[in-house]
Each structure stands twice: as C-alpha cells, then as structure tokens.
Amino acid sequence: QKEVEQNSGPLSVPEGAIASLNCTYSDRGSQSFFWYRQYSGKSPELIMFIYSNGDKEDGRFTAQLNKASQYVSLLIRDSQPSDSATYLCAVIAGGTSYGKLTFGQGTILTVHP
C-alpha cells in the first residue's frame, strides 16, 4: 500500500463547477497535510496546508481533513481554466524526521470552458 494515494484522475470539470480532489494516507500518526499545484513543466506551488481536523478555507480553495478516516481533500469552487494543473497531496508522517514530506502521485485536473 502506498503511503499517500490520490484519486487517479484525470479529472475533468466544466468551468464554474466544484472540483474535488481526494487523498488518503496510511500512517495514522501523520500530522501535517499540504496541497501543491503544479503546472506542466513548472515547480510545485503551495496552495493550502492543514494541521487540524475540519475545514480550512482560503478564497476558492477549501481543504478538508479527517484524521479518523485518514483522508484529506481539496475543493476548488468556481473552477477556472487556469486551475488546470496537476495537484499534489503531501503528508508529514508521524515519527518521521522533521519536515520529511511524502507526496502522492498527483491528480491531473482539467477545467474546460
């Protein structure tokens, strides 16, 4: 079982819709969770981080964390074509060396006009 798994995608949504990206992790002691956006040929850009159970909102983005279910998600409201990118989920597992991020394989999102 992979340590961090993301829904395989690709995910295609129409402009203006809600895009939902999901991520599960295997280590129940994981403590910190991150979402990065990566455009083709570019480096990842941090868009959200969440440390506590519940929802965290920032503009059109909402991160949701459920530690009991070992599940973290990213919702993008009012999706725009500029949101088309690969979204990477990353986790700092419990008991690991400080700052060691483990990444999922990414989900490709396409927002079509």
Partner 1 sequence: DGGITQSPKYLFRKEGQNVTLSCEQNLNHDAMYWYRQDPGQGLRLIYYSQIVNDFQKGDIAEGYSVSREKKESFPLTVTSAQKNPTAFYLCASSRGGTYNEQFFGPGTRLTVL
**Token pair 């983005």 in the structure block, residue:** 61
Closest to partner 1 by CB, 36 or 72: 36
Position 24 contacts partner 1 (CB under 8 A): no
Closest to partner 1 by CB, 79 or 86: 86
Residue (of 64, 63, 67) closest to 37 by Cα position = 63
Among 50, 63, 72, 88, binds partner 1 (CB under 8 A): 88
Q: What is the secondary structure of 39-85 as a DSSP string?
A: -TTS--EEEEEE-SSEEEEETTEEEEEETTTTEEEEEESS--GGG-E
Position 106 contacts partner 1 (CB under 8 A): yes
Among 19, 74, 92, 111, binds partner 1 (CB under 8 A): 92
Reading the block at residue 34, the tokens are 């991150």
Which residues here bind partner 1, judged by CB under 8 A?
4, 32, 34, 36, 42-46, 49, 88, 90, 92, 97-101, 103-106
